[in-house]
Amino acid sequence: MHDIAFTLNGRPWSLRVEPRRTLVDAIRDDCGATGTHIGCEHGVCGACTILLDGEPVRSCLMFAVQADGRALRTVEGLEKDGALHPLQRAFIDHHALQCGFCTPGFLMLAVGVLERTPNISDEALTDVLSSNLCRCTGYQNIVRAVRAAAEEMAP
């Protein structure tokens, strides 16, 4: 067992975990933040995408111990004072979610990308978004929503 500490959406956590415990299980089961979902556990679908020190990562492919000392952000941390993040608003406005299972992963992927590359090109944006899977929407509304939010978030 290992003792680790990290922050999740700004709040400090100390956990004792087995070395094999995945980060997504720690986030969901130990921290109770079930907004991050598990779609494959083999690093392909992106439903488990979170931000680790600002970088989008697949939390099913990381062990919890690797998060020791790091800052994690998940979908639960997107709202500010009860107001939705522009990306969350844009997903609703563009009907970019149906079942909503893939949505937190797409949101965190997009937040991570737009924070680093606010004026990303259309082509590069579609390319980045192709790293996550959605079975419901056919993607076009997701791409539109992220594009709209990018414009709103642009400095």
Partner 1 sequence: MTASGFPNSRVIGHDVARVEDEALIRGVGRFVDDIVLPGMLHVAFVRSPHAHAAILGIDPSGALGMPGVHAVLTLADLAPHLTDTRLVVAMPSPSYRQQLHRPVLADREVVHVGEPIAAVLADSRYLAEDAAALVDVDYDVLPVVADCVAALEPGSPTAHRDASSNLVAEMTVEYGDVAAAFAAAPHRFRERLWIHRGGSHSMECRGLVAVHDVLEDRLTVWSSTQMPHAAHRLLCDIMGLGERQIRVVTPDVGGGFGPKLIFYPEDVVVAVAARLLGRPVKWIEDRREHFVATTQERDQYWDVELATDDAGRVLGVRGLLVHDHGAWTARGVNVPQGAVAAMPLAYVVPAYSMAIKAAATNKVPVTPVRGAGQPQGVFAMERLLDSAARALGLDRAEIRRRNLVPAERMPYATPMRTRGGIPVVLDSGDYPRCQQMALDRADWAGFTARQQAARAEGRYIGIGLANYVEGTGRGPYEHVSVRIEPSGRIFVATGAAAMGQSTQTMLAQIVAEQLGADMSNIRVVTGDTAAAPLGIGGSNSRQAVLAGNSAHAAAIRVRERVLEAASQMLEVAAADLEIEGQRVRLKGAEEVGLTLSQVARAAAGQAGFSLPGQAGPGLAASEELVIDAMSYANGSAVVEVEVDIGTGAITIRNLVFAHDCGRALHPRIVDGQLMGGIAHGIGNALYEFMAYDENAQPVTTTLAEYLLVTATEMPPVTILHMESPTPLNPLGIKGVGEAGVIPIGAAVASAVEHALSSFGVRVNRLPLSPVDLLGLLNAATA
Interface ranges with partner 1 (CB under 8 A): 18, 20-21, 28-29, 32-45, 47, 74-76, 78-79, 84, 88, 91-92, 95, 97-104, 107, 126-127, 129-143
Q: What is the DSSP letter of 66?
A: G
Name every residue whose Cβ is closer than 8 Å to that of residue 136 and which is 6 or more positions away in sequence: 97, 98, 99, 102
48 binds, options partner 1, ligand FES, none, Cβ within 5 to 8 A by partner type: ligand FES
> Sign of torsion, CA 30 33 38 43?
negative
Rounded to whole angstroms, the Cα distance separating 132 from 49 reads 9
3/22 with CB nearer ligand FES: 22
CA distance 21 to 64: 6
Q: Looking at residues 90 to 149 of the shown chain, list those that interact with ligand FES (rule: CB under 6 A).
A: 97-102, 134-137
**Which residues of the chain form contacts with ligand FES (CB under 6 A)?**
38-41, 43-48, 58, 60, 97-102, 134-137
